[in-house]
Amino acid sequence: MGKLTGFMEVKRNNNPMVTCEERIKNFSEFYISLPEKDRREQASKCMDCGVPFCQSAMKLSGMVVGCPLHNLIPEWNDEIYKGHEKHAFERLIKTNNFPEFTGRVCPALCEKACMCGQWGESVTVHDNEKYLIETAYERGYMKPNPPAKRSGKKVAVIGSGPSGLAVAAELNHRGHLVTVFERENRIGGLLMYGIPNMKLDKKVIFRRQKLMEEEGIVFKTGENIDSAEKVKKLKDEFDAIVLCCGAKKARSLPAACQKEGKQNENKLIPGAYMAVDFLASATKDVLKAVDTEKKNTLSEEGESRITDGNTNFKISAAGKHVVVVGGGDTGNDCIGTVIRQGCKSVTALEMMPKPPLERAANNPWPEWPKVLKTDYGHEEAIYKFGKDPRVFETTVKKVNTGKKGEIKSIVTVGLKWEGGKFTENSGSEKEIPCDMLLIAAGFVGCEDYTAESFGVRLTGRGVVETPEGDYATSVPGIFTAGDMRRGQSLVVWAIAEGRMCAKQVDKYLIGY
């Protein structure tokens, strides 16, 4: 596969990024595609591996190695190298319903397991994937493919995130009539309102929605299935129901909760926000120019205004000292967003120790490398404020408020891990200014009302209970997939779960 000597001759060349100085002025995507000639050269680096770990999705040391979708990576890299983009695209789309999403937001489990990465730099699989799908759209390879025959069976999918979209796409292709219900005003779940526009331009989601509608899928937005009566109506109308509502129940921060009588962990001090709510608000404000009366298709005016940098934000970090609690992707996205909104400073607190710069001896290839990752938001903070915003082994001990109860500053405390739990470092308290506190401390399961409305059982982790390797819930005819089943995870896992769930639903409906 690829050029026989490519892995020895070709150096890794990532898609370049717009400079920090320029990209923080707007919410536009900031990766620049390589010329076609250079992309083919990057694909030639792919080796003829006897056992390609990149597509294996096998468990090692409790972690999955390689792509959960089992993408046929060496095959389509070879086709890119040879200039056969149509053939390459056809191999890619066999296993991945939405390469335009994973090619932008996936952390590339495939690249971390690439054989080239054992001794040098891995193949640019992530960038190659994005190139393929965007080329397919440009050249007309990507077009509606409605089923030739309908089964007459009707399926309701609740939630339009990546798992729900994957379930819908697969079952529609099998000929079933699929309706997707989404409580927000636009489809996409966290793709739409959890990932900022500069990381995943929302026009990409609108484009995919249009194609899926042309294939026969019906989307109903603003539909919150939140009562037993609504569930009964769905059961009467549909032959199967699939719950893909995500795991949006956020982990709170006790120090940031109001304490009036009995503590209500859902009521935060003014100036404190759950990160996912903040990011959703920011994206909604960025997208105000979209003409929702035309099913989210963007007009020329919408395309120009969507990233003009002149948006008035409902929840704004402008002129504020911001503290982000949590060091994952969501925390990084918060950093990038508040910088674009014009914050005065940003600090990111992380409870865990600072990871090493290189793999530890007990973390060998092809395991996921547990090393320090400096993402786009961190880079922008370093550019803007002259230092890395992250402070490790630290959390919020106390929130100081003003006369109106609003946040004025926080007191941080150092942590250490001992005896299986975190303990405070005595005397390590520090007070820092804080006008806005964003809590990106992860998620603890699906929202209770959804499970209660459908009568499905939850596990101790707050996700819907299913047998091992199974997608059927405790209620006959109701299935589940994605984060609602496995807990908060990656987009690529959500798509994989949606595909596997669809197979089980299909068998339930027609027997094979």
Does residue 334 lie within any of the structural domains?
yes
Does residue 145 lie within any of the structural domains?
no
Same domain, 398 and 269: yes
In the prediction, which pLDDT does 158 show?
A: 98
**Over 50: is that where the pLDDT of 292 sits?**
no
* DSSP labels, 232-284: HHHHHH-SEEEE------B---GGGB--SSS--TTSBPTTEEEHHHHHHHHHH
**Over 50: is that where the pLDDT of 225 sits?**
yes
Give pLDDT tens digits for 436-462: 999 999 999 999 999 999 999 999 999
Q: Comparing 341 with 119, which gets the higher pLDDT?
A: 341
Nearest to 324 by CA among 336, 335, 313, 316: 335
pTM value surpassing 0.85? yes
In the prediction, which pLDDT does 311 show?
A: 57
CB atoms within 10 A of CB 9: 11
Give pLDDT tens digits for 144-203: 999 999 999 999 999 999 999 999 999 999 999 999 999 999 999 999 999 999 999 999
**Over 90: is that where the pLDDT of 293 sits?**
no
Nearest to 239 by CA among 187, 183, 175, 189: 175
Structure tokens, 339: 């910088």
Nearest to 288 by CA among 269, 272, 312: 312
Does residue 174 lie within any of the structural domains?
yes
User: How many structural domains comprise the chain?
Assistant: 3
Does residue 371 lie within any of the structural domains?
yes
Picking from 417, 439, 461, the residue at the C-terminal end of a domain is 439
CA-to-CA separations, 319 to 243, 311, 340, 350, 369, in angstroms, rounded: 41, 15, 11, 23, 37
Same domain, 431 and 450: no
Does residue 116 lie within any of the structural domains?
yes
Residue 97: CATH number of its domain = 1.10.1060.10
What is the phi/psi pair of residue 415, to 5°?
-125, 155
What is the Cβ-side half-sphere exposure of residue 65, based on CA atoms within 13 angstroms?
A: 19
Same domain, 426 and 468: no
- What mean pLDDT do residues 119-126 have? 94
Same domain, 35 and 127: yes
Does residue 375 lie within any of the structural domains?
yes
Q: The dihedral of CA 234, 291, 99, 94: what is its sign?
A: positive
Same domain, 370 and 473: no
> Can you tell me the distance from the alpha carbon of 284 to that of 293, in angstroms, rounded to the nearest whole number?
15
Query: What's the domain range around 423?
Result: 254-439
Cβ–Cβ < 8 Å for 376, 332: yes
> Can you tell me the distance from the alpha carbon of 98 to that of 208, in angstroms, rounded to the nearest whole number?
8
In the prediction, which pLDDT does 1 show?
A: 60
Same domain, 261 and 239: no
**Over 60: is that where the pLDDT of 298 sits?**
no
**Over 60: is that where the pLDDT of 238 sits?**
yes
Same domain, 285 and 304: yes
Give pLDDT tens digits for 248-287: 999 999 999 976 545 445 589 999 999 999 999 999 999 9
In the prediction, which pLDDT does 119 show?
A: 85
**Over 60: is that where the pLDDT of 346 sits?**
yes
Q: Comparing 241 with 259, which gets the higher pLDDT?
A: 241
Cβ–Cβ < 8 Å for 452, 231: no
3-state secondary structure of 327: coil
Q: What percent of the chain has pLDDT over 70?
A: 94
- What mean pLDDT do residues 22-40 have? 96
Strand partners, 218: 179
Does residue 144 lie within any of the structural domains?
no
3-state secondary structure of 349: strand
Same domain, 48 and 183: no
- What mean pLDDT do residues 123-133 have? 98
**Over 50: is that where the pLDDT of 302 sits?**
no
Give pLDDT tens digits for 414-439: 999 888 889 999 999 999 999 999 99
Mean pLDDT of the chain: 92
Cβ–Cβ < 8 Å for 369, 112: yes
In the prediction, which pLDDT does 260 show?
A: 58
Give pLDDT tens digits for 32-90: 999 999 999 999 999 888 889 999 999 888 889 999 999 999 999 999 999 999 999 99
Could you identify the residue written with the tokens 């037993």? 228
Residue 330: CATH number of its domain = 3.50.50.60
Cβ–Cβ < 8 Å for 465, 454: no
Same domain, 295 and 410: yes
Give pLDDT tens digits for 462-491: 999 999 999 999 999 999 999 999 999 999
Picking from 390, 410, 439, the residue at the C-terminal end of a domain is 439
**Over 60: is that where the pLDDT of 379 sits?**
yes
In the prediction, which pLDDT does 116 show?
A: 93
Instruction: Give ∠ CA 273-276-281 in degrees, rounded to 5.
Output: 80
Same domain, 176 and 303: no
> Can you tell me the distance from the alpha carbon of 201 to that of 64, in angstroms, rounded to the nearest whole number?
29
151-165, 301-315, 383-397, 472-486, range with the lowest pLDDT: 301-315
Same domain, 93 and 236: no
Q: The dihedral of CA 223, 225, 227, 232: what is its sign?
A: positive
Does residue 1 lie within any of the structural domains?
no
- What mean pLDDT do residues 317-336 have? 96
**Over 70: is that where the pLDDT of 135 sits?**
yes
Same domain, 328 and 209: no
In the prediction, which pLDDT does 258 show?
A: 79
